[in-house]
Amino acid sequence: MEAADKKGTDTRERLIQAAGEVFAQRGFKGATVREISRQANANIAAVNYHFGDKEELYYEVLKNSLSSVMEKYPPDLGVTPESTPEERLHAFIRSLLFRVLDESRPTWHARLMAREIAEPTAALDQMIENILGPLYGYLTMVVKQLISDEANDELVHNCMFSIMGQCLFYHNARHVISKLYHKKFGPEVIERLSTHIMRFSLGAMKDLGILDTSHAKANYISSQ
Amino acid sequence: MEAADKKGTDTRERLIQAAGEVFAQRGFKGATVREISRQANANIAAVNYHFGDKEELYYEVLKNSLSSVMEKYPPDLGVTPESTPEERLHAFIRSLLFRVLDESRPTWHARLMAREIAEPTAALDQMIENILGPLYGYLTMVVKQLISDEANDELVHNCMFSIMGQCLFYHNARHVISKLYHKKFGPEVIERLSTHIMRFSLGAMKDLGILDTSHAKANYISSQ
DNA sequence: GACTGTTTAAAACAAATGTTTTAATCATTC
DNA sequence: GAATGATTAAAACATTTGTTTTAAACAGTC
């Protein structure tokens, strides 16, 4: 069988692609092996033959997703050892936004990860270990450089969450945004969003950093 | 039957409460009428008798949720006509955070709405009309007062999204946050978070507002 | 070209699930 | 207190769905 992708291509691979699409769209429970098989041009029994059962297929799909998601948009894209912390932050935001909003390629990676984050299965742990943990670690470093190396942990975490939240919101609330404001997320819009989020966050951290270092930690901790 | 809540309480009401819990936990597809019925101490046929079918029950649950979610924490809690825009923003953030994080009462309202936002069913439209639309309208007003009444719409929207994103992140990523940082969201933590988000956002908008009004719109629009 | 291990195809199975049916029970009214 | 309408209970039904089985088709090897 020398045909390119008529039937010769690995059924296993086609199943993963199809399953990714279906899982992302309908969730683990909502996805049926019949729909996956149909969409992969495979027999119903193919899933069980190649993966054992539906759950194992899901894990395989997620693992596949994890490794490919970071490839196209690594969090330090275009950053050199000489880059300023500001440039690193912009690169981080930009890559995160493209990672979750770019529709020029299969979008199920991001949607699947978002699903797993919002309602974890047993697979969340490996996702944290391989992707989210390192990602947060990297952002921690960047933020610390931006506000103050000896800023208290709470402030650092809060700033990180403020940045992550701004980025992920556009993915999470995309249906609402599009219904309320008829906004579409093409590459140039994403570019502008990343500029906004960077300026917004830099302005904020400039303020907070001053607060934190001048009035010392007690100031930030006192609330209300 | 005069007993308080042994069996005399409306089965219909018990079904809605139980269904809310189960739908929020397992999603529409994952929830089974059997589990709902069991948890409501009702017969399997009760759902169909009282609501026609499972989908109609879901809509009823969501409608019930919508009307009750805003009651305890209205977005302008504690705000008077004399309040400053800064106070209004703080109240908005605070109430939003409590709305989505407060675990001292049934949490399924927020979880269910988050589900509907992330993966809409046909019910999203009424949710936008009754809740999200007004909420965003109110925030628009507050933000405009904070940066500049004649700020361009894009900047206003972006700031709104930055604020909403920061708040909703803690709900959306709660499992990841708790696994990574062992953070729990008690009332005092929520209070401090709201203070952080307010300061973060005010600092940011102060910056952007200056940018926007002094260098005029062209400045903001130029990206990269 | 028969043999062997791998993959695909079709059908069947068993469990789960939303819904319906039918009868019993409860509550209210005359 | 019989009659009537509303509610609940138990069982059955029809579909869907994940999985298994059995046989056929294929690919590579001697």
The band of A214, judged by pLDDT with boundaries at 50, 70 and 90, is low
**Nearest-5° Cα angle at A162, B119 to B223:** 90
What does the block give as tokens for A99?
């990672």
Residue A176: which of B117, B203, B223 has the nearest Cβ? B117
Query: Can you give the pLDDT at residue B88?
Result: 96
Chain A hits for B197, CB-CB cut-off 8 Å, are: 158, 162
pLDDT (mean) for A53-63: 96
Other Cβ atoms less than 10 A from the Cβ of B187: the count is 12
Question: Does the beta-carbon distance from A203 to B201 stay under 8 Å?
Answer: no
Residue with token string 């649950």: B61
| Whole-number distance in Å between A139 CA and C15 C1' | 48
Which DSSP string do the residues of B144-203 spell out, in sequence order? HHHH-TT--HHHHHHHHHHHHHHHHHHHHTHHHHHHHH-----HHHHHHHHHHHHHHHHH
Distance of alpha carbon B92 from alpha carbon A51, whole angstroms: 49
Distance of alpha carbon B96 from alpha carbon B194, whole angstroms: 9
Window 80-139 of A: residues touching B by CB (8 A cutoff) are: 114-115, 117-120, 124-125, 128, 132-133, 136
Q: Are A167 and A96 in contact (CB under 8 A)?
A: yes
Residues 6+ apart with CB under 8 A from A200: A166, B158, B159, B162, B204, B205, B207, B208
Q: Are A202 and A89 in contact (CB under 8 A)?
A: yes
Secondary structure class of B114 (helix, strand, coil)? helix
Residue with token string 């969501």: B62
Residue with token string 């260098």: B215
Q: Is A34 within 8 Å of chain B by CB?
A: no
Which nucleotides in chain D lie closer than 7 A to a protein CB?
A: 7-12, 16-22, 26-27
Residues 20-79/A with CB < 7 A to strand C: 42-46, 49-50
Question: Is the backbone of residue A33 left (phi > 0), alpha (psi -120 to 50) or beta?
Answer: alpha
Query: Can you give the pLDDT at residue A91?
Result: 97
Question: Does the beta-carbon distance from B169 to A177 stay under 8 Å?
Answer: no
Residue with token string 């739908």: B23
| Whole-number distance in Å between A45 CA and D20 C1' | 9
pTM of the entire structure?
A: 0.88
Query: Can you give the pLDDT at residue B92?
Result: 97
pLDDT of B210 higher than 80: no
Q: Is A182 within 8 Å of chain B by CB?
A: no
pLDDT (mean) for B65-89: 90
Q: DSSP secondary-structure letter at A10?
A: -
Q: Using CA of residue B24, residue B66, residue A22, residue A64, what is the dihedral sign?
A: negative
Q: What is the pLDDT of residues A82-138, one digit of tens each?
A: 999 999 999 999 999 999 998 888 889 999 999 999 999 989 999 999 999 999 999
pLDDT of B8 higher than 70: no
Percent of chain B residues topping a pLDDT of 70: 90
| Whole-number distance in Å between A38 CA and C9 C1' | 13
pLDDT (mean) for B150-169: 95
Chain A hits for B165, CB-CB cut-off 8 Å, are: 165-170, 173
How far is CA A155 from its chain centroid? 23
- Kindly list the distances between the CA atom of residue B68 and the CA atoms of A175, B72, B77, B135, in Å, as whole numbers in the listed order: 23, 8, 15, 15
For A78, phi then psi, to 5°, come to 80, 10
Secondary structure class of A222 (helix, strand, coil)? coil
- Kindly list the distances between the CA atom of residue A89 and the CA atoms of B169, B203, B204, in Å, as whole numbers in the listed order: 19, 18, 15
pLDDT of A224 higher than 80: no
The one-letter amino acid code at B147 reads I
pLDDT (mean) for A156-167: 97
Using the CB atom, is residue B13 less than 7 Å from strand C?
A: no
